[in-house]
């Protein structure tokens, strides 16, 4: 495994996975624009190393995790499921029944002990080859990127933020963006549901200043560990050691009582005052939208330390696919065995990129009894990070949840909107903008599993006639549907001899102050006017109705299930447009990320 970031970059270079850019580039938008273009190339493009950054003597590395090959290289595997297999070895461990079994367990126990972080024993840790305190600690020397045009300023986007519980002393390492306010202060953007925020609450309640350390640039397993949704109280450095098969070497900070990875490129040391807040954001986020400005704690820097020749490591997030998609994919595969240990009926699951990893999950279920799919939904909505998931789709164990065609086929040939939907309410990710309420809203479960004898039967599907020709459909939609601009049928042949019981029509519409989603939905014609279609999905007029990935992204991001899904007489209308007061949505709707304003 890699000792540090530079060792990983060297390995990427030897593997032909690193593109070095020698021209002078600006950290204001330009590096982001180049990174976005590269990450959208087939397969995720290359990792990028910008050697000459305007206004700084430090190079910048981006997109280092942004492909299947690079994320596997980063985590020391040839396939991400190998990480899950290693986790499963520990989960499947049972107390030994005899001496032979006990002897077989010893090597495993010894290896586990070797994963715990250790203290650096050398004279000077690499991350403290240069120590800057007081006025010398100047963030303007570091090439922090402004990523998107409407960002409130430059943001540190790949920070490893170290905190410690005031009550238990347990360490947490999370990844929380830092908006640079000035040379020695930043925002501290920890969401209300995150462990860093929980520990901050402990200090706030005690009226004590909270020490915080931020490492930037480390070995790739340690960087990844900061993004992983570990249970509270479990040290992310232990996970990093598990992935590396080697402990992370830590070192004491110079101005606060905190440890950081000794091989980090940069370290920011400081504190957060429990009673100080400042307006932070907006910021171009991984949802593909700007997260809105709000008040967050302020991080005051007491020291900046770094290697003699450090590399500043940043990431760009935005409309998928981007680098964070590959980090999230690693989490998906790594944590599958942990979820299966609690819910062994789960065969596999998949988080589509278009759902930005908190809007939808597709789960294959080894169904055993009536209501099993609904039990699974409830269990997932009550489990850790899965509780943020807005939509859960359940399929039978024979269906590969990562096979988009297979899942859509099941939907088109089996889905009964009268019996297969479960609606509930609960917590939502802070970045969910579709709900009328921040952090809370509606959720939907879709049961596509085979019915058991004692379950309510699906309604007997009526014969689905062939729809009229395209021109006739277009004429009907424009004449009958309020605000309609264009439409297109979703064409997909069912597998084998299965018959369609659902057919989808995409409609682009233009809302006005007087015409919202409700009015448009109610104007969808009766079945005898537009035969052959059962599901209608509304999109804003600028959305290209042939770009399925873009449409899924809008569908998963823009829909609050209880408000935006309407069912009448076996017809469903889904409003995937942006929302406003015409829809009863009083919250500010965020702008979509674009470089061309």
Q: Which domains does the chain have, with CATH numbers?
A: 71-313 (2.30.110.10), 323-447 (3.40.1670.10), 470-583 (3.40.1670.10)
> CA-CA distance, 172 to 234, in Å (whole number)?
8
State the pTM of this model.
Answer: 0.93
Strand partners, 296: 278
Maximum Cα interatomic distance, the chain, rounded to a whole number of Å: 82
- Kindly give the interhelix angle for 81-91 and 99-113, rounded to the nearest 10 degrees: 130
Tens digit of each residue's pLDDT, the chain (597 residues): 899 999 999 999 999 999 999 999 999 999 999 999 999 999 999 999 999 999 999 999 999 999 999 999 999 999 999 999 988 887 776 556 666 666 666 666 667 778 899 999 989 999 999 999 999 999 999 999 999 999 999 999 999 999 999 999 999 999 999 999 999 999 999 877 778 888 999 999 999 999 999 999 999 999 999 999 887 888 999 999 999 999 999 999 999 999 999 999 999 999 999 999 999 999 999 999 999 999 999 999 999 999 999 999 999 999 999 999 999 999 999 999 888 988 999 999 999 999 998 899 999 999 999 999 999 999 999 988 899 999 999 999 999 999 999 999 999 999 999 899 999 999 999 899 999 999 999 999 999 999 998 898 887 766 778 888 889 999 999 999 999 999 999 877 665 556 888 999 999 999 999 999 999 999 987 777 888 899 999 999 999 999 999 999 999 999 999 999 999 878 999 999 999 999 999 999 999 999 987
Q: Are 172 and 329 in contact (CB under 8 A)?
A: no
Residue whose tokens read 């007081």:
134
What pLDDT shows up at residue 202? Answer: 94
What pLDDT shows up at residue 194? Answer: 78
Query: Closest Cα to residue 498, out of 401, 399, 368, 572?
Result: 399
Q: Tell me the torsion sign for CA atoms 138, 143, 145, 150.
A: positive
Active site residue 151: no
DSSP helix/strand/coil, 588: coil
For the chain, the C-alpha Rg in angstroms (whole number) is: 26
285, 324, 447, 575: the active-site residue? 285
Kindly report the number of other CB atoms within 10 A of residue 65's CB atom: 27
What pLDDT shows up at residue 87? Answer: 85
């Amino acid at each position: 495994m890699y000792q540090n970031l530079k060792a990983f970059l060297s390995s990427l270079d030897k593997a032909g996975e690193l593109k070095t850019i020698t021209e002078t580039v600006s950290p204001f938008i330009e590096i982001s624009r180049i990174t976005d273009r590269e990450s959208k190339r087939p397969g995720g493009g290359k990792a990028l190393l910008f050697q000459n950054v305007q206004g700084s003597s430090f190079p910048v590395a981006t997109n280092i995790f942004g492909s299947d090959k690079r994320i596997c290289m980063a985590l020391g595997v040839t396939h991400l499921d190998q990480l899950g297999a290693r986790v499963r070895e520990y989960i499947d461990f049972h107390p030994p029944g005899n001496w032979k079994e006990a002897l077989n367990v010893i090597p495993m126990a010894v290896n586990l002990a070797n994963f715990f972080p250790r203290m650096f024993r050398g004279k000077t840790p690499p991350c403290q080859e240069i120590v800057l305190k007081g006025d010398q600690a100047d963030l303007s020397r570091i090439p922090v990127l402004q990523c998107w045009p409407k960002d409130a300023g430059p943001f540190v986007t790949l920070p490893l933020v170290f905190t410690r519980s005031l009550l238990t002393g347990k360490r947490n390492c999370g990844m929380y963006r830092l908006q640079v306010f000035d040379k020695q202060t930043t925002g501290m953007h920890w969401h209300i549901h995150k462990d860093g925020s929980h520990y901050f609450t402990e200090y706030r309640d005690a009226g004590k200043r909270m020490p915080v350390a931020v490492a930037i640039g480390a070995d790739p397993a340690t960087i990844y560990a900061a993004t992983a949704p570990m249970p509270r109280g479990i040290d992310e450095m232990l996970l990093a050691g598990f992935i590396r098969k080697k402990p992370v070497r830590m070192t004491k900070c110079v101005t606060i009582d905190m440890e950081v990875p000794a091989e980090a490129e940069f370290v920011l040391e400081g504190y957060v005052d429990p009673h100080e807040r400042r307006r932070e954001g907006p910021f171009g986020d991984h949802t593909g939208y700007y997260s809105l400005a709000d008040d967050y704690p302020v991080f005051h820097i007491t020291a900046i330390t770094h290697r003699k020749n450090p590399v500043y490591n940043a990431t760009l997030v935005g409309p998928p696919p981007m680098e964070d998609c590959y980090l999230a994919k690693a989490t998906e595969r790594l944590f599958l065995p942990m979820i299966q240990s609690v819910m062994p009926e789960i065969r596999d699951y998949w988080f589509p990129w278009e759902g930005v990893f908190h809007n939808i999950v597709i789960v294959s279920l080894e169904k055993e009894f009536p209501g099993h799919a609904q039990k699974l939904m409830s269990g997932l909505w009550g489990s850790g990070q899965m509780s943020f998931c807005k939509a859960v789709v359940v399929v039978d164990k024979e269906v590969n949840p990562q096979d988009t065609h297979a899942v859509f086929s099941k939907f088109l040939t089996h889905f009964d909107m009268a019996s297969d939907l479960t609606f509930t309410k609960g917590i939502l990710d802070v970045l969910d903008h579709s709900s009328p309420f921040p952090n809370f809203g509606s959720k939907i479960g879709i049961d596509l599993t085979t019915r058991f004898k004692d379950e309510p039967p699906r309604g007997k599907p009526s014969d689905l006639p062939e729809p009229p020709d395209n021109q006739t459909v277009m004429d009907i939609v424009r004449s009958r549907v309020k605000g309609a601009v264009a439409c297109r049928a979703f064409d997909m042949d069912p597998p084998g001899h299965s018959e369609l019981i659902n057919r989808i029509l995409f409609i682009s519409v233009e809302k006005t102050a007087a015409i919202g989603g409700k009015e448009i939905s109610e104007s969808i014609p009766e079945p005898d006017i537009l035969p052959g279609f059962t599901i209608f999905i509304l999109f804003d007029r600028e959305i290209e109705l042939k770009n399925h990935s873009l449409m899924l992204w809008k569908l998963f991001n823009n829909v609050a299930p209880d408000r935006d899904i309407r069912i009448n007489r076996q017809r469903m209308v889904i409003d995937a447009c942006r929302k406003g007061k015409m829809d009863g949505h009083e919250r500010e709707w965020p702008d979509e990320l674009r470089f061309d304003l």
